[in-house]
Amino acid sequence: MGRAVSLARSLLPFLVALPFLWALQRWSPPYPTLVLRYVGINIVLAVSLNVVNGFTGQFSLGHAGFMSVGAYATAKTMLALADVQLAFLPEPASDAVLFGFALLVGMAAASVAGLLVGLPSLRLRGDYLAIVTLGFGEIIRSVIQATPPAFLGASLGLSGLPLRTTLIWVGLGAVAVVVMARRLALSTQGRALFAIREDEVAAEAMGVDTTGYKVRAFVISAAFAGLAGGLIAHSVGAIEPTSFDFKRSMEAVVMVVLGGLGSITGSVVAATVLTVGLELLREFQDYRMVAYALMLVVLMLARPQGLFGTAELWDLWRRKRPAASAASAGPPGGAA
Amino acid sequence: MTAPALEVRRVSMRFGGLKALSEFELTLRPGELVGLIGPNGAGKTTAFNALTGVYAPTEGEVLVAGARVDGLKPHQICARGVARTFQNIRLFRELTALDNVRVACHAGAASGFFGAWFQTAHHQGEEARILARAEAYLAVMGLSHRRDEVSRSLPYGEQRRLEIARALATGPKVLCLDEPAAGMNASEKLELMQLIRTIRDRFGLAILVIEHDMRLVMGVSERLLVLDHGVTIAAGTPAEVRADPRVIEAYLGDAYLEERHLPAPASPPEGGGPAAGAGAP
Amino acid sequence: MSDALVELLQHLVNGLSVGTIYALIALGYTMVYGVLKLINFAHGDVYMVGAYAGFYLADLLTPGGRAAGDGAAGAMLRALVVTAGAMAICGLLGYLIERLAYRPLRGQARITSLITAIGVSFLLEYGFQLQPWGFMPIPFPPGPSPRFFPELVRRADWSLGGVSISNYDVIGLAVALALMLGLQFVVFRTRFGTAMRAVSFDPQVAGLMGIPVNRIISWTFVLGSALAAAAAILNAVPRPQINPLFGLMPGLKAFVAAVLGGIGSVPGAMVGGLVLGLAEEFVAAYTLSSLKDAIAFTVLILVLLFRPEGLFGRVTVEKV
C-alpha cells in the first residue's frame, strides 16, 4: 500500500506535465519549439549544477565535462542501436524506449565521471575546487580529442545522430530535475548538504559524512548534466569536443548565480530568461554577448545573492511561516 | 560498572615543533560533569579537537564506551557518541533553528537519496521521527518559540543554547562544551550552568566543559582538570584544585593575587589568560 | 651529438621559451591571489589586451610594417617603446578592473568576486570580438578574426650542435628573468613590497597598522597586469597570431603554474611556469600532441592532491 502511494506521488508530476508537453509539441510552431527545447535543457543544466554549487556550497566549474560525457555516451548508444527495433513494440514506441535507454546510459556514464572527479577533488575547497573541476572539464575534452577518430570522432566529433529530442523529452527531463532537487531540499539528506554549505567543520562534527555527501551531490549533479548533454546531442544531431568547453560550464554557473545559489526556482527562471533573452537579441549579434557580460558584472555588484537569494517561489504559498517575526528579529547578537 | 563513557590515554598533539598538548589523560563516567580550565592558549580547545577527531592525536588513545575512536573522522566519532559545541559559535547560519537541530538528528537516517526522491514510506517515517526529536530538543533548551527563525538572527545567548540543542540531537554519551557561557552576563551564565546540570541528569550524559569563569566552573563541576602550556598541571575536586599552588601560579595568577592584595609572582606566566579568565563582572 | 639528444635539447629550448611566458603571466596571478585571495579570471584576457595594445602601438609607430633601412638600434628602441606602452595600458586596465569590478565587492562572499571576474573576462573577450567602431582613429575593437603581430625585432637563428635557438628565445628568457628579479626586489626589498606582504597576511590588521590597503591592492593589480602585457609581447613576437580568445588558455595554464609553484610565491610562479612549459612540450613531443592541454590540468590536480601548498608555498591550517 505504502509502496503504491509513493510510486503514485513520484509519477504524479510527470503525469501532470505530459499532456501540456504533448500539446506544446503538437501545436507549437517550429521556432518557439526550438527555443523551448533549449530552455528546458538549460533548466536541467542549471538546476543540476545548483545541487553542487547552491545546495552544497561547492564551487564546480566543470559541468560541461559531465555534459560531454553524457552526450557522447548517449550518442554512441544511439548509433549502436540504430538498426534495432524492439519486436514487441510498434516503431515509434520502440524508438522512444531506445532513446530513453540511451539517455539513461548517458546519465550513468556522466555519474561515473562525476564520481571520478568528485572523489579526489573534494578534499579541496573554494577556489581550488573550482579550478580543479575546470581542469577536469578540459581534460575530458582533450582526452576525447585524443581518442581514435573511429571511436569518438576525435576533433570532428560525431554527426548524423538521429534527432530524437522532442519537447516532451526535454520537458520530462526538466520536471525530473526539479522534482529531484525539490524533494532533496525538503529531506534530511538535503539538509545535510545545506549544513555542509553553511559550515563544513560543524556539519562533520554533527555526524554528517561530509566527504560522502559531497561526492553524492557531485554524482547526482553530473548525472543530470549528462542528461542535458544527451538531449543536446540528439537535438542538434552532431556533437564535437568544443561544444562542451569551459564557456559552457560558465554559462551554467551564470544561470545558477543569477537565479540565486540554492534556489531551484531561481535557476529555472534564470535559465529561461537567459535562454529566451539571448535568443531575442540574436539580431544584435556580438553585442548581445557584451551585454550579457556587462549584465553579469552589474548584477553581481548590485545584487550579489542573485535574483531569488535562497528563496523559492513555492514558499510564497506553502509556508504559513511567522515571516514577520523572523524578519524583525533584529541584528545577530554579536555572533562572530 | 561498565566501561567509562570517555577514556583518554596519554594523548599528545604536536604541530610542527610545537607540542600543544602533552600526555593528556581523562576518564569520564556517565553522569559526570568535569571542568577543563586553563589560561588562553593552554591547549583546552586542542584537547577538544583531538577528542572529537578534528585533529588525529599525534600519540595516545581515545576510547568511547571502551572502543577506540582516535584516528576516526569527526562524523564517525560523533556517531560513536561524542558531541561538541564550538568556542566561536558555528551554527548553520542560514538555516532555521529547527533545521540546525534536524541536521544533527540525521546521523541515524538510513533511507538515503532514493528514499527522498521516491518519498518512500520508510523515508517519510524517518522524517517524521526526526522532526519529533528535533522539536523535543528545542523544547529542552527552551527554544521552541524560535523554531522557524533563521539561526543567525537569534540573540547571542540563544545561539549558544541552540548549539547545545544541536549537539544533544546527535544522541551523545559524552558532551563537550567549549566555553558555552562565553559572552554571557553573570546571571545568564548561572542559568546556563543549571541547565547543563539538568541536561546531564535527564540524559545521563558525561559532560566536559571548558570555561574561563573560575568561580562558575568550580561551582558546577564535580572535578576539574587544569591545563597550562599543554600540560595537565592539576586534577581533582574544585577544593583541591583551588589549593594547588601550581594552579594559583599558572592560572589564577595575577587576578587571584590582586584580589587578595598580594604581590604578583616574580615571573608571571605568558599570555593574557588570567585577566581575561577571571574578568567576569 | 645523436639525433635523439639533439631532439631532446630542442624540445628543452622550446619548452623553456613557452615556460617563460607562463611564468610571467603566473606572476600576476600569484600577486593578486596573494593580496586578495581571488582567482583573477580576467588576467588571461588582460594578457590578450596586452598583445593588442602592442599591435596597435607598433602600427602607429611604423605604419604599414617595418620601415626600410631601419637599423638594429632603432628596432630595439621601437620594441622597447611598444613593450613599455603595452605594459602601461594594461597596468591602467588592471587598475580599472580592480577599482570598478572587484573593490566594491570586497567583503562579500568569494564566489561573488569569482563570478565578477568571469564577467570581466567575458566582457573583454566579447568586446574585442566586436567589429571596429567608425569613430575610433584606429581599427578598434579588432573583431574576431586573427591579426598578425609585426616583427618588432628581426629574427635571427643560431644552431648550436644542431639545436636551433633564436634571438627571441634568448631575449624572452633574459627579459623574463630581469622582470622576475625586479619583482623579487620590489616584494622583498621595498616599503611597497613590505606593505604588500602585510596585506597578503591579513588585510584588516594591515589597515589598522596604517597601510593604505586599497592603494596597495591597486598597485598590485597594476604591476601584475603590466607583467602580463610584457608576457604578451614576448609571446607575440615569435608566435605572431593573436585573436580575442587567445588569452584564455595561457591564462588558465599560468594559474596552474602559479599553483604548482605555490600560490603567493614569486620564485614559485617562475619555476612553476618553466616546469609547466617543459612538461607540455615533452608530452606533446613524445606522446600525443592533443594531450597537451590535458597535461597542465593533470599537473594541477596532482599538485593540489599531494602537495596543495605547491613547491614553494606554506601550509595553512584552518583554525577551529
Does residue B64 belong to any structural domain of this protein?
yes
In total, the C-beta contacts within 8 angstroms joining chain A to chain B are: 152
Question: Which of B138, B171, B204 corresponds to the end of one domain?
Answer: B171
Asked if residue B21 lies in contact with residue B13, where contact means CB atoms within 8 angstroms, the answer is yes
Which residue type does A125 have? R
pLDDT at C318: 54
Residues with Cβ within 8 Å of residue A99, at least 6 apart in sequence: A78, A164, A169, A234
What architecture is the C3-306 domain classified under in CATH? Orthogonal Bundle (1.10)
C residues 271-290 closer than 8 Å to A (CB)? 288, 290
pLDDT at A321: 45
Shared-domain flag, residues B141 and B128: yes
CA distance B143 to chain A (A): 14
Q: Residue B45's closest CA among B2, B87, B105?
A: B87
Chains that touch A (3 or more CB pairs under 8 A): B, C
pLDDT at A324: 37
Asked if residue A233 lies in contact with residue A220, where contact means CB atoms within 8 angstroms, the answer is no
pLDDT in tens, chain C (320 residues): 678 888 888 889 889 888 989 998 998 888 888 888 888 889 999 999 999 999 999 888 876 555 545 677 778 888 889 999 999 999 999 999 999 989 988 877 777 888 888 889 989 999 999 888 888 788 888 888 888 888 887 788 888 888 888 888 888 888 888 888 888 899 889 999 899 888 888 888 888 888 899 999 999 999 999 999 999 999 988 888 999 988 888 988 898 898 888 887 888 888 999 999 998 888 888 877 777 778 888 888 888 778 777 777 765 555 55
Cβ of A160 under 8 Å from any chain B Cβ? no
Mean pLDDT of B261-274: 43
pLDDT at A332: 34
Domain carrying residue B162? 94-171
Taking CA atoms, what residue in B is nearest to C315?
A: B16
The region of weakest confidence among A81-95, B17-31, B194-208, C214-228 is A81-95
Q: How confident is the model at residue A335 (pLDDT cuts 50, 70, 90)?
A: very low
Q: How confident is the model at residue B120 (pLDDT cuts 50, 70, 90)?
A: confident
pLDDT at C32: 87
Instruction: Please provide the distance, in angstroms rounded to a whole number, between the alpha carbons at the two ends of chain B.
Output: 42
- Whether B270 has a pLDDT exceeding 70, the answer reads no
- Whether B255 has a pLDDT exceeding 70, the answer reads no
Asked if residue B247 lies in contact with residue B234, where contact means CB atoms within 8 angstroms, the answer is yes
A residues 18-57 closer than 8 Å to B (CB)? none
**Residue of A127, A139, A141 with shortest CB distance to C114:** A127
pLDDT at B275: 38
Percent of the residues in chain A that have a pLDDT greater than 90, as a whole number = 24
- Whether A329 has a pLDDT exceeding 60, the answer reads no
CA distance A122 to A62: 13
Asked if residue C317 lies in contact with residue C301, where contact means CB atoms within 8 angstroms, the answer is no
Asked if residue A68 lies in contact with residue A140, where contact means CB atoms within 8 angstroms, the answer is yes
Percent of the residues in chain B that have a pLDDT greater than 70, as a whole number = 86
CA distance B119 to chain C (A): 33
Q: Which of A68-82, A139-153, B251-265, C280-294 has the highest mean pLDDT?
A: A68-82
Mean pLDDT of A57-86: 88
Does residue B99 belong to any structural domain of this protein?
yes
pLDDT at A226: 94
Q: What is the mean pLDDT of chain B?
A: 82
Q: What is the mean pLDDT of chain A?
A: 83
- Whether A75 has a pLDDT exceeding 60, the answer reads yes
The region of weakest confidence among A71-75, B51-55, B238-242, B266-270 is B266-270
Shared-domain flag, residues B257 and B232: yes
Shared-domain flag, residues B39 and B167: no
Cβ of C315 under 8 Å from any chain B Cβ? no
Contact list in C for residue B15 (CB cut-off 8 A) is 317
Contact A139 C294 (CB under 8 A): yes
Mean pLDDT of A307-316: 76
Taking CA atoms, what residue in A is nearest to C308?
A: A124
**β-strand pairing of B231-236 with B223-228:** antiparallel
Shared-domain flag, residues B156 and B177: no
Contact A205 B74 (CB under 8 A): yes
pLDDT at B253: 58
Mean pLDDT of A287-301: 85
Does residue B204 belong to any structural domain of this protein?
yes
- Whether A334 has a pLDDT exceeding 60, the answer reads no
Contact B121 A5 (CB under 8 A): yes
Taking CA atoms, what residue in C is nearest to A287?
A: C130
Does residue B208 belong to any structural domain of this protein?
yes
Contact A192 B116 (CB under 8 A): no
Q: In which order are the strands placed within the sheet that holds B6-15?
A: B18-28, B6-15, B59-64, B67-68
Q: pLDDT, tens digit, for every residue of C146-158?
A: 888 888 877 888 8
Backbone angles phi, psi at A132, to 5 degrees: -70, -40
Shared-domain flag, residues B177 and B227: yes
pLDDT at B246: 81
Question: Which of B117, B148, B171 corresponds to the end of one domain?
Answer: B171
Shared-domain flag, residues B179 and B164: no
E-assigned strand segments in chain C: 147-148, 157-160, 163-166, 241-242
Contact B90 A202 (CB under 8 A): yes
Which residue type does B7 have? E
A residues 174-193 closer than 8 Å to B (CB)? 179-180, 183-184, 186-192
CA distances from B184 to A335, B91, B151, B190, B198 (A): 12, 17, 18, 9, 19
Burial class (CB in 10 A: 0-12, 13-18, 19+), B16: exposed
Taking CA atoms, what residue in C is nearest to B46?
A: C320
Cβ of A324 under 8 Å from any chain B Cβ? no
Q: How confident is the model at residue A74 (pLDDT cuts 50, 70, 90)?
A: very high
**Does residue C141 have a cis bond before it (omega within 30 degrees)?**
yes
CA distance B134 to B169: 7
pLDDT at A2: 63
CA distance B121 to chain A (A): 6
Q: How confident is the model at residue A249 (pLDDT cuts 50, 70, 90)?
A: confident
Q: What is the CATH number of the domain that holds B268?
A: 3.40.50.300
Q: Name which of B133, B152, B153 to mutate to probe chain A: the one with the most chain A Cβ atoms within 10 A of its Cβ.
A: B153
Q: Residue B160's closest CA among B177, B185, B136?
A: B177
CA distance B146 to B97: 6
- Whether B56 has a pLDDT exceeding 60, the answer reads yes
Contact B148 A183 (CB under 8 A): no
Does residue B190 belong to any structural domain of this protein?
yes
CA distances from B95 to B91, B98, B162 (A): 8, 8, 12
Contact C320 B15 (CB under 8 A): no
pLDDT at B252: 57
Contact B104 A206 (CB under 8 A): yes
- Whether B128 has a pLDDT exceeding 90, the answer reads no
Shared-domain flag, residues B116 and B145: yes
Helix (H) or strand (E) holding B175: strand B174-178
CA distance B45 to chain A (A): 14
Q: Name which of C41, C122, C124, C129 to mutate to probe chain A: the one with the most chain A Cβ atoms within 10 A of its Cβ.
A: C122
pLDDT at C93: 96
Contact list in C for residue A123 (CB cut-off 8 A) is 305
CA distance A68 to A70: 5
Contact list in C for residue B45 (CB cut-off 8 A) is 320
Contact list in A for residue B89 (CB cut-off 8 A) is 335-336
- Whether B259 has a pLDDT exceeding 80, the answer reads no
- Whether A320 has a pLDDT exceeding 60, the answer reads no
- Whether A318 has a pLDDT exceeding 70, the answer reads no
Q: Is A271 helix (H, G, I), strand (E, B) or coil?
A: helix
- Whether A101 has a pLDDT exceeding 90, the answer reads yes
Question: What's the total number of domains in chain B?
Answer: 2
Query: Which residues are B18's β-sheet partners?
Result: B15
**Residue of C116, C126, C304 with shortest CB distance to A132:** C304
pLDDT at A253: 87
Contact B54 C317 (CB under 8 A): no
Q: Can you spell out the DSSP letters for A77-140?
A: HHHHTTT---TTS-HHHHHHHHHHHHHHHHHHHHHHHHHHHHHHHTTS-HHHHHHHHHHHHHHH
Shared-domain flag, residues B222 and B279: yes
Mean pLDDT of B84-98: 90
Shared-domain flag, residues B52 and B103: no
Contact B49 C320 (CB under 8 A): yes
Question: Which of B136, B171, B206 corresponds to the end of one domain?
Answer: B171
